[in-house]
Amino acid sequence: MVTVMSAVNGIDIPKNMQVSLQTSNKRDAVLGVSTASETTEAEPTAIDAHPSPLWTRIRAYCREAFSEFFGTLILVLFGNGVVAQVVLSNNQKGDYQSISWGWGLGVMLGVYVSGISGSHLNPAVTFAMCVLRKFPWRKWPVYAISQLLGGMSAAAIVYGNYKSAIDTYEGGPGIRTVPGYSDTASAGIFCTYPAEFMTRTGQFFSEFVASSILMFVIFALIDKGNMGAGPFMPLGMFFTIFGIGACFGWETGYAINLARDFGPRLVSYMLGYGTEVWKAGNYYFWVPVVAPFFGCTFGGWLYDMFLYVGSDSPVNMPYLGLRRLVRPDAEKHHEAHSRA
């Protein structure tokens, strides 16, 4: 028998092995690894000849949005769920520490679910990533809407699950009250309400500080040049949220997230809790909407200013990146100079 040989990368390969090599190379390319220095166009198969199903194409296009939606859904499901259990059982099935644990677990599991999109789960976090990590601005509305809808859906699910318990706790199926207006208010299950002694300035500062801590630690956890959490990122986020809740959560409920607070608040209004959901705490509702954006951006900037050395932060660009506002091409020149 005569074996026909051909050379691949200077090595004589029997011809009858070439087909298996081509198949192996194609498989490896799908995994993001190529073992061949040259690729060979494979003939289209019968499967390749048919267009992919419509839902497959839709899912591929919207996958990041779906990821943020379900990640935030899981976060709020566990968070609102634990608050419901503690409140409606009159602290018989948990206490404040249980709430800190529940929110921490919700964030951890939400991060696991939404790894495809980067696990932002918070419009303020996405905003800070756009400002300080070159995350595309065009994605911010998509992420924010997905996160908001995820929070709203979770609140509706929790309400449906605990409706009978809420009826019993409030005193009847048609009674729905808000903290500050009733001793048996259940609206606090879905969104945050400040302590009665809190001033408007104190409300804002509390949310600002908690949001700053959140973003500062997130940047530390993702910074490979520092230590970075790597595969332990979800666990790191668990302890971050647990710590914020246990140490800074009493005064305003540590909302630190528009999607976690405004979305469920809107759902509670739609479910019959009335306009008091907006009036309570001297119209506190806007504080967890606005303060997290300032807090997360400041916390991220603080980390970059003193600890981060990556070139993707504007803090590490000439004039702290402000030149981009005057000369849009300044960033390109800086990147070219850094590569040189």
CB contact at 8 A, 114 and 64: no
Per residue in 296-334, pLDDT (tens digit) is: 999 999 999 999 999 999 999 887 777 665 665 655 555
Q: Is 156 within a domain? A: yes
CB contact at 8 A, 265 and 193: no
Q: Is 41 within a domain? A: no
CB contact at 8 A, 202 and 250: no
**What does the pLDDT read at residue 13?**
47
- What average pLDDT does the chain have? 86
Amino acid at 292: P
Q: Is 320 within a domain? A: no
**What does the pLDDT read at residue 86?**
97
Q: Is 55 within a domain? A: no
Domain containing residue 284:
62-313
* Spatial CA neighbour of 99 closest among 205, 241, 206: 241
- Could you give the CA distance from residue 283 to residue 280 in angstroms, rounded to a whole number? 5
Q: Which residues of 15-41 are buried (b: 16+ CB within 10 A; e: fewer)?
A: eeeeeeeeeebeeeeeeeeeeeeeeee
Task: Indicate left, alpha or beta for 320 from its phi (over 0: left) and psi (-120 to 50: alpha).
Answer: left
The pTM assigned to this predicted structure is: 0.81
For residue 168, name the pLDDT band (cuts at 50, 70, 90).
very high
Q: Is 170's pLDDT higher than 60?
A: yes
CB contact at 8 A, 301 and 315: yes
3-state secondary structure of 7: strand
Q: What backbone phi and psi angles, to 5 degrees, belong to 170?
A: -75, -25
Q: Is 5 within a domain? A: no
**What does the pLDDT read at residue 329?**
61
Per residue in 177-221, pLDDT (tens digit) is: 999 999 999 999 999 999 999 999 999 999 999 999 999 999 999
Q: Is 300 within a domain? A: yes
What CATH number is associated with residue 168? 1.20.1080.10
CB contact at 8 A, 266 and 152: yes
**What does the pLDDT read at residue 48?**
55
Q: What backbone phi and psi angles, to 5 degrees, belong to 7?
A: -95, 130
Q: Is 284's pLDDT higher than 80?
A: yes
* Spatial CA neighbour of 108 closest among 10, 272, 238, 207: 238
Q: How many structural domains does the chain have?
A: 1
Q: Is 112 within a domain? A: yes
3-state secondary structure of 253: coil
DSSP 8-state assignment for residue 42: P
Task: Indicate left, alpha or beta for 236 from its phi (over 0: left) and psi (-120 to 50: alpha).
Answer: alpha
Per residue in 63-103, pLDDT (tens digit) is: 999 999 999 999 999 999 999 999 999 999 999 999 999 99
Q: Is 147 within a domain? A: yes
Amino acid at 29: A
**CA R_g for the chain:** 26
